Chains A and B, each alone.
Chain A
Amino acid sequence: MKKIFSYLFKENPVFVLVLGLCSVLAVTTTFERSYMMGVVVLVILVLSNLIVSLIRKIVSEEIRIPVYIIIISTLVTITELILNKYSKPLYDAFGIYLPLIVVNCVVLGRALSYASKNKVLDSIKDGFKSGLGYLVAISIIGLLRELLGNGTITIMNDISGITGYKEILHIFNNVVIPNKLFLTSGGAFILLGIVIGIINGRRSEV
């Protein structure tokens, strides 16, 4: 348990390395979009680490980055097409931030620094670890933002076309809590800063 906790909070790509903030700030207006973004990044991260690790002996040092970019963008395009086919509302909600996963520092960073030097199984494990950290971080931000900014928690709405299950919890509806501030990107920044501050404070204690 302690090991998982340390994975999630001591080596978290968002809270500790402060990478991949673009999507963390942009798509986290509802909880559902946040965790779906996290899942998409997790899948792409695992697959890209797998492929990069497989071809690590063929690709020479000089052309590494273009090759990895092509691999990642292929994966992202496939995901994009799948989402467009099966879950149009989610695809519309993500908008430009879905193609932008290509330049997400977490994905390229793991490919360059880990997968290009290590064995296949280790690379998959590493990708899963980083992706899970990203998923947890983006879900926390999304949960807090939606709860404070809109007073609701969307557990499943956009993807209910696939799962056939729809659930939006209405938690707060008074004068104080649907606070528009947290739906703006400025509010997201403040929230992210406070969460990072709390986690850094706890980290030095543990």
Chain B
Amino acid sequence: MKFIKENGPHIKNSDTTSKIMTRFLISLIPIVCFVIFKNTVLVYFFTSETLISVLHPIFMIIVGVLTSFISELLWFKLVNKTNIKTSFLELYRSFSIIPGLLLALVLPINTPLWIVAFGAFCGTIIGKMLYGGFGQNIFNPALIGYLFISVSYNALLGSPLNAYELDTLAGATPLTNLTSLNYFGTYDSIVGSYGTLLNFFSGTIPGTLGEVSKLLILIAFIYLVITKTIKWRIPTTYVTTVFVVTWIIGNSLGLGIWYPLFHILSGGLLFGAVFMATDPVTSPLTPIGQVLHGISLGLLTVVIRFLTPYPEGVMTSILFMNMLVPLFDKIGVRLRYNIKRIYIPILIYLVITILLIINIISNINNNKTNGIDDVGNKVKIIEIKKDGNKKIYNVTSKGWGTIKAEVEVVDKEIKSIIVTDKKDETQWNELEKVDYIYKVITNQKDINKLDAVSGSTFSSEAIKNIIKKVLSEELK
């Protein structure tokens, strides 16, 4: 380390990391209160759930906070071998409970508690302490925890609907609904089943714990910006980019202004932009770097939402862009003293955006024209055996490879599916874990509303296609 000795009055800011952490926590309090209101109070009064089961979201938050706190304490105690007093002082300075809290807020409501603990532990130890503790980590610890959970136990994450929503709403989160509609539909089909856009804004839609109430997130954002806790450029450019790109896409497909608003208000976009992309350690320091960071985040989120099977792209894009933070800072420093060359990044981003928009629009149009024939191409009926009023269909369906199955039909209703060949399906055990075939058979009447098993989307789509094909064959 180099010490510089200089004369002159140095003005010192009284901000410390512990003060920043306190302000961060204050801004999260209303969101936690809303979680408790929406998932505990409402559910308790409007359904017949027991008290213990409605308290689950509170337990999730407590477990996340405690796990990340205790694992960091243990690290200080066992590895750094500091005494208890210095450890607590260190913990007070190092944002120790934030990873667990944020992690609990981005998980769906029915997540088992031990998964929350696992994620908070991995996030704190692997995402933060192994890199050298607070200030040295290159990835956001909460997102590392989320990554570990989603890679390891994706099938166990559980649905994001609480018991009250299960009664009133059918289907999945707005974004999964959008993905299953191939990103195109009317206001009624995309927004209508969840109320109006005002419901999206106030937070009475299904989603992960903390992400739903956009109003409270906006209030928290204003509070954090006024107190200079977070960098305002990243969230604003991030959200603006997503808005502009989806607005152009929606406009050229003939959809109104509600389409970009839907994209901003659904999913974890605002939550991620305000609380995760602005993490003081893992975001650029230079103003131009922050703007570029925000734009790249927006573009990557749009790519993941529209061009991959994953409905939500916020966490992945933040995690990915964490890697490029040094690069953005380097560009920011260079451009600061040579502002004329700003046209280079502008040009590059413009070209990328235009190509991306053209690609997405042509993709959506393709899906629109041959969406229905798709099932017919992927599923082939080899033979039909009749046995009294029982019919057995011998079908093949295209997943990763080819699935062969025997489907038993009685009175235009599917009784059983026996999969005879599944050797190309590498993620088949994900389906078996959740007993997917049983779910498919029980939900055969409205198969489109059933979610694919995340982690094994192709195989579950293949099974769903079999049902669609056989039922349409029966109804002929």
A residues contacting B by CB (< 8 A) are 175-176, 179-181, 184, 186-187, 190, 193-194, 197
Q: Out of B114, B126, B130, B152, which one reaches A179, CB within 8 Å? A: B152
Residues on the B chain within 8 Å of A190, using CB: 126
B52 interface residue per 8 A CB criterion: no
- Residues 150-185 of chain B: 1 if any A CB is under 8 Å from the residue's CB, otherwise 0? 011100100000000000000000000000000000
Query: How far apart sit A194 and B125, CA to CA, in the bound complex (Å)?
Result: 11
The verdict on A181 contacting B114 (CB below 8 Å), with A190-B126, A197-B130 known, is no
B428 interface residue per 8 A CB criterion: no
Query: How far apart sit A133 and B153, CA to CA, in the bound complex (Å)?
Result: 34
Query: How far apart sit A180 and B156, CA to CA, in the bound complex (Å)?
Result: 13
- Residues 137-159 of chain B: 1 if any A CB is under 8 Å from the residue's CB, otherwise 0? 00000000000100111001000
Contact yes or no, B151 A181, CB < 8 A? yes
Query: How far apart sit A179 and B152, CA to CA, in the bound complex (Å)?
Result: 5
In the complex, residue of chain B having the shortest beta-carbon distance to the beta carbon of A148 = B152
How many cross-chain pairs have Cβ atoms below 8 Å apart between A and B?
Answer: 18
The main secondary structure of chain A at its interface with chain B is: helix
Residues on the A chain within 8 Å of B152, using CB: 179-181
Residues on the B chain within 8 Å of A187, using CB: 151
Classify chain B's interface size: under 10
The main secondary structure of chain B at its interface with chain A is: helix
Contact yes or no, A176 B114, CB < 8 A? yes
Interface-central residue, B126, B151, B153, B156, by most chain A CB under 10 Å: B151
In the complex, residue of chain B having the shortest beta-carbon distance to the beta carbon of A197 = B130
- B117-133: which residues lie under 8 A (CB-CB) from chain A? 118, 126, 130
Contact yes or no, A180 B130, CB < 8 A? no
Contact yes or no, B130 A181, CB < 8 A? no
Query: How far apart sit A175 and B433, CA to CA, in the bound complex (Å)?
Result: 10
Can you show 5 pairs from A to B with CB atoms below 8 A apart? A176-B114, A176-B118, A179-B152, A180-B151, A181-B151
Query: How far apart sit A193 and B156, CA to CA, in the bound complex (Å)?
Result: 27
- Interchain nearest-CB distance for B429 vs A (Å): 8
Closest 7 CB pairs of A and B: A181-B152, A179-B152, A181-B151, A180-B152, A181-B148, A180-B151, A190-B126
In the complex, residue of chain B having the shortest beta-carbon distance to the beta carbon of A201 = B79
- Interchain nearest-CB distance for A104 vs B (Å): 28
- Interchain nearest-CB distance for B133 vs A (Å): 15
Given contacts A176-B114, A184-B151, A187-B151, 15 further A-B contacts (CB under 8 A): A175-B153, A175-B156, A176-B118, A179-B152, A179-B153, A180-B151, A180-B152, A181-B148, A181-B151, A181-B152, A186-B151, A190-B126, A193-B130, A194-B130, A197-B130
Residues on the B chain within 8 Å of A175, using CB: 153, 156
Interface-central residue, A180, A184, A187, A193, by most chain B CB under 10 Å: A180
